[in-house]
Structure 1
Amino acid sequence: MSPGQIAALVAAGAFVLLVILLAIPLIKLGRTLDEATIAIRKAHQNSDPIFSGANTTITHVNAQLERVDGITANARAVTGNVSALTSLFTATLGGPLVKAAALSYGVSKAIRARRKASEAPGKHLRRRTARGGKR
């Protein structure tokens, strides 16, 4: 054997070793892709019940939202009615009640003033005399 043939034999051996070393990660990568394919297939099979459950849940939520919309509309109508009733009450009874309150305040103030005047008769008499009244 010549040295060229030995060098070719060593190069061929190195090439085979390189192919084997590169084949191992490729085989592992192929297994990983197979597992990923199986996992995707299982996820696809299990997603149908999840989606149907989600659809059922969304249907129930929509029904509840329709009820809440009805309740909100009724509350809005009640609020409008209460506002109208308050305006009516203020228009019809508010004025007379304010007048009655003012009258009672004035009467109570006048009574207090009379009581103070009756407790201190000297002051009352001096006022009369200062105005030119009799003593």
Structure 2
Amino acid sequence: MRIGELSERTGTPRRLLRYYEEQGLIAAARSANGYREYDARFVDRVMQIRGLLDAGLPTRIIKQILPCLDQPRIIHFADATPEMLATLELERDRMTERIECLIRNRDAVAEYLDVVRSKRRPDDAPAVPSG
């Protein structure tokens, strides 16, 4: 697929996809006319990259851990420094905190919905979300 299709399928701007390529996070083949051609597997890869970036990991760390996200997993980090390991542990802990916060928020919303639904009269029309 070309860069435009990858952009559409992942919701990632083309410029950002080119940046991922410059950083060695994804790779494109070149067609005879010079257009970038991406394998369909890069849809999932780009989504993984975006998730890791959203979690706060820098691209240099993402590049090192991307092989661990593939199936089957290929893990080989002869060059893993104590700094990299400490950074990964910190980021893992930050992700865990965010997950726990999301779970608390989800549970609070679910509890609110349960209470509101239990208090509704049968003749009440369902509320239409505004937005």
Structure showing greater radius of gyration is 1
* Larger relative contact order, structure 1 or 2 (CA cutoff 8 Å, min sep 6): 2
Say which structure is richer in helix.
Answer: 1
